[in-house]
Amino acid sequence: MSSDTTGGESPAQGSSGKASSTSSSADKQKEKARVSRTSLILWHAHQNDAVAVRKLLEEDRSLVQARDYDNRTPLHVASLHGWIDVAKCLIDFGADVNAQDRWKNTPLADAEGARKHNMIELLKSYGGLSYGQNGSHFEPKPVPPPLPNKCDWEVDPSELDFTNSNIIGKGSFGEILKASWRGTPVAVKRILPSLSDDRLVIQDFRHEVNLLVKLRHPNVVQFLGAVTEKKPLMLITEYLRGGDLHQHLKEKGALNPATAINFALDIARGMAYLHNEPNVIIHRDLKPRNVLLVNSSADHLKVGDFGLSKLIKVQNSHDVYKMTGETGSYRYMAPEVFKHRKYDKKVDVFSFAMILYEMLEGEPPFSHYEPYEAAKYVAEGHRPTFRSKSYLPELKDLTDKCWAADMNQRPSFLEILKRLEKIKENVPTDHHWNIFNT
C-alpha cells in the first residue's frame, strides 16, 4: 500500500476490513505527525530559531505554507516579531509573502502594525503588499511603498533651463548653479564633465542621491530630482534665496541672543532628524556654508550639502565607526576626526558648537589661525574664548558641553533642543548683545 493513500477502498483490502483499519490508523498517525510539525515550525518561528526552522523545511518543504488555527503562516509570525533571519529562511523555501490570515492581514501588514522597520524593508523587497486590518493605512488595497521609484525623480536634462543661470557655489567635483526647472528656481549641483566617468566621483554622487531621496524634513534642504542617465550628472534641490549662514554672519556680525537661539533651534531640529535611529545620517561637514537661509529675512534655516554624509544603520546608540580621518572642513572639525580616531554622530554636535560660537561672537572660531592650524590647536585641547561682554551664560554653558573633548559627554541634538527651548523662554526681549574686542 502506498504511504500516500488517504482514503477509499483498495481491491487488495478484501472484505475483512483489516487493511482498511490499518490504513485508517496510518492516516491518523500521519495527520498527527503533520499537526505536530506544523506546531513545531510555528513555534520555532515564534522563538526566532532559524536553524530549527531550516531543518524542518529541509525535511518537508510544504511546511513553509503551514497554517495555525487563525490561518497564520510562519512568515506572519516572524514578521510580527521582526525576526529577519527566520523570515529570510522561509522566503528562501518559497513562502508566500502575501499570504493572508483569517483577518486578511498579510505579513507586511503585521510588520507595519508592529513597526518592525527592517522587516518592512525586507518584505517589500520581495514584493510584499500591505493590506488587512493591521496595515498602516487600514485600507483594503495594497499600500504603495513610501520611497519613490527612480522614475519618480529621474529628470531629463532638457527640462533644466540654464539661460539665466549663475554659479552659487563651487567644489572639487563640480559647481552649484541657480537654474530653472519647469519654471521653478532650483539649485543644481553639476559634476564636471571631465569627472563624469570617474568611478569614485560617480560612486559619491550616487551615494548623495540615495541619501537625499530618503530625507523629508522642514530643516533639511529638499531633494527634487537628479540626472543620472546622461552626462553631465546633476543633482537638483530647492533653491533657497537667503544664501548661506557664512555669508550672512560675514555681513551681519554677531547675532543677538534671540536670533542666535532661533537659528540654533533650526539647525538642531534638522540634525536631530538626521541622527534619528536606526538609520543615523552623520553629516560630517556641518559648517556655516552648509547651513542655508530660506529667504533674505532669515527667518528659517535648513541643513544642506550631504556630499560627505554617512548613512549608518545603528544596532545601539553607543556604536562608533572607523571612518575616513580628516573628513570635512578643518575649522569646525571634531578633535577625534582630526586625530583619525573612531567617532560617531557626536562629531556633528561638536561642529554645531563651533557654529553656535560663531553666531554669538560674529567671527569664526580661531579666525587668526589657518583652518588646518585651528583644527590642530583644537585637537590639542584648546577651545575658542567667549569675548562678548553680555553673552548669555546658559548659551556659553551649552556650547561648552557640545564641544567637550570626550564625545560621550556631548549631548544629543534632542537634548540640545530641550536646552535651547528652555533658554528661549528666559531671553528678555530688550537684551542687547554687544561685542567688545579685547
pLDDT for the residue 296: 82
DSSP track, 126-192? TT----SSSSTT--SSPPPPSSPPHHHHB--GGGEEEEEEEEEEE-SSEEEEEEEETTEEEEEEEE-
CA distances from 157 to 139, 221, 226, 227 (A): 38, 21, 9, 7
Task: Write down the CATH superfamily of domain 151-238.
Answer: Phosphorylase Kinase; domain 1 (3.30.200.20)
CA distances from 346 to 27, 221, 240, 380, 410 (A): 65, 21, 27, 18, 7
The three-state secondary structure class of 33 is helix
Comparing 28-125 with 245-425, is the CATH topology the same? no
189 is known to lie in a ligand binding site: yes
Provide the annotated active-site residues: 285
For residue 371 the three cell numbers come to 583652518
Q: Identify whether 364 is preceded by a cis peptide bond (ω within 30 of 0).
A: no
In eight-state DSSP terms, residue 227 is E
Per-residue pLDDT of the chain (438 residues; tens, 9 = 90+): 333 333 333 334 444 454 555 566 676 676 667 677 888 899 899 899 999 999 999 999 999 999 887 788 999 999 999 999 999 999 999 999 999 988 888 999 889 888 899 999 999 999 998 876 544 333 333 434 445 566 678 899 999 999 988 988 776 678 889 999 999 999 998 888 877 777 777 877 887 888 888 889 999 999 999 998 888 889 999 999 999 999 999 999 999 999 999 999 999 999 999 998 778 888 888 999 999 999 888 789 999 887 656 555 544 444 444 444 444 589 999 999 888 888 889 999 999 999 999 999 999 999 999 999 999 999 999 999 998 765 689 999 999 999 999 999 999 999 999 999 999 998 766 444 443 333
CA pair distance 305, 212, nearest whole angstrom: 10
CA pair distance 135, 310, nearest whole angstrom: 31
What fold does the segment set 28-125 form as a domain?
A: 1.25.40
The three-state secondary structure class of 301 is strand
How many secondary structure helices (H) and strands (E) does the chain include?
Answer: 15, 9
pLDDT for the residue 399: 96
Q: Which CATH number fits domain 245-425: 3.30.70.260, 1.10.3720.10, 1.20.1540.10, 1.10.510.10?
A: 1.10.510.10
Q: How many CB atoms lie within 10 A of CB 242?
A: 18
For residue 167 the three cell numbers come to 554659479
Domain ranges of the chain: 28-125, 151-238, 245-425
CA pair distance 42, 94, nearest whole angstrom: 16
pLDDT for the residue 137: 35
* Cβ 164 vs Cβ 157: under 8 Å: no
Q: How many CB atoms lie within 10 A of CB 162?
A: 13
